Structure 1
Amino acid sequence: MEREKAIALVDVMLDHLDAGKTEWPLSLVREVAVFGSFARGAVQPKDVDLLITRDTDERWVSHFVTCLSYGRDPYSVFRQELIGRRRGCQLVFEYGDPAELSPIVLWRVGDSVETARQRLRAIPTDPTAGRAPRHAMLPEFEGLEDWIPRADREVLCNALDKGAIGLERLTLEEGSVRSRFAMEHAEDRWAPSSPLFRAGIAVLRYWESCGVNPRLGHLHGVDVDKPVTPYFAGFNQRYLRSIPRCLTEFGGKEWIEVVHPTKTRPLECLRITPRDTDVLASLDFG
């Protein structure tokens, strides 16, 4: 997009922040910074990357836990209030080391919107600036990098480079589950409207399509039935740190990671298999 259009999008976001700064959830916002190609001065940035720093209160903790339980994005309340359905602004709320992004602060609590606008327009343009390099990227991560934190991409890349794992991309198909026991397991855990239910059913169906009894599966932190479970699946990278142990100590055959379960979008997954279990057992996934 043209740089002028990008500036206009940020102006609208700042207006929304100013209008709602005394109301939850925008009352939690402490700082807004810009990074990426726009911050480096690109004349035609793909979009505007904004790093949002927030506080935490009891309401946020309750909201966060509820969203995770139902497979929803807890930060959607911020996105709705700040940018609504507008395209062109990418909001980032959690990042391991923000300094890596070289962010430029636009607004902090106590600043006026006019001050933020001045800082925004003071960022110099650079016709030679392009997109920022994407770290720890593989073809299997394409289109999923917004949902797979860089730290998770790094541990998977490292394990792949060392020959500890195999990695491939899958899109799970939807359909019925033949095993009544496995179906009831999913029904007991999640509401039918939950994206996690949709992801769970798709994983169970995938196992059945591969000739695997789903009762031998460990589904998002819980055994479906049997105490020995060579087949593992997780959602939203919640249990990704368990991969070395699960695939080396329990005769693990594969790990299916549903990267970002939703109610309607394709269920994109990473299939992780053990290759060198000695090396895998020695790796620290964080």
Structure 2
Amino acid sequence: MKVLITGLATACLMAAIPAFAVNEAASVLADYSKVDEVIPLPDVGGNLSGITYNYDTGTYFLVQNNYGKLFEYDRSFKKPLRIINMINLKDDDTEDIVYLGQGRYAVSTEDNYIFIFSIAPKQTTVDMSPSRVDVQQFTLPSPRKDNKGLEGVCFTRNSKDGRGVFFAVQEQKPKRIFAFNWPNSNDDFKRNFGLTEPFDTEAIMKHRLSDLSGCTFDDSTNHLLVLSHESSRLMELGRTGHIVNTLDIPAVASQYEGVTFGANRELMLVSEPSTLVIMKKRQ
């Protein structure tokens, strides 16, 4: 099932953000201060770009860009449990991945596509053709410069509409943050599902983050975390785009590209070429 969101005017994009639950808490980044583990992942080989935690299986799924490959690991991160090839991708420059629950995932690509799909246990090949009824494709407005498109995608169920809200971050030229609803059912995809740019990302990031390379959403605080590899920094944003906190990440890896929360609320960061950095929550 294919969904196009191209050609929207700026005024439309700046419409009301998809509705959230109203509660908001203090900073989540305040709980992190140091690196606890640095784990090389030689089986990835390079171009490591994103990570998500599957809370149903207790495993982690990592995405490699330019090859359309996924790697599943347990918490030891010693060897991949399996390598999954995504075939018939419209764009194999896959940049990030987020777990949605019930075996479903979303992947973002450099050319501003987002794919929603399922992975079954033991499956090692996934057909990503948007003509399939079990694959949904979103096409966001194109970047103004090649190779400066979507870098991160994340998801929250904290929404009054649909199954939740997606956030997607565009790297540069300009830096942008998109938000849109995930409709309640596949039959709802022909309706308007509220693509927005909820705030002026360039203005917020000016002199703070040089680029955007990833994101994750913290449901416990209703805060969006965005990652910059050029600045080696995480920024925590409230629902209106106000800055809650920032965290400078120690330079123990070369290029931070993706972030997620782990099973015990660890910050799990992946870096090119193939390194995992773990920051544990302070007790």
| Superposition TM-score, scaled by structure 2 size | 0.26
Q: Which structure features the higher share of strand residues?
A: 2
Q: Which structure features the higher share of helix residues?
A: 1
- Structure having greater relative contact order (Cα 8 Å, sep ≥ 6): 2
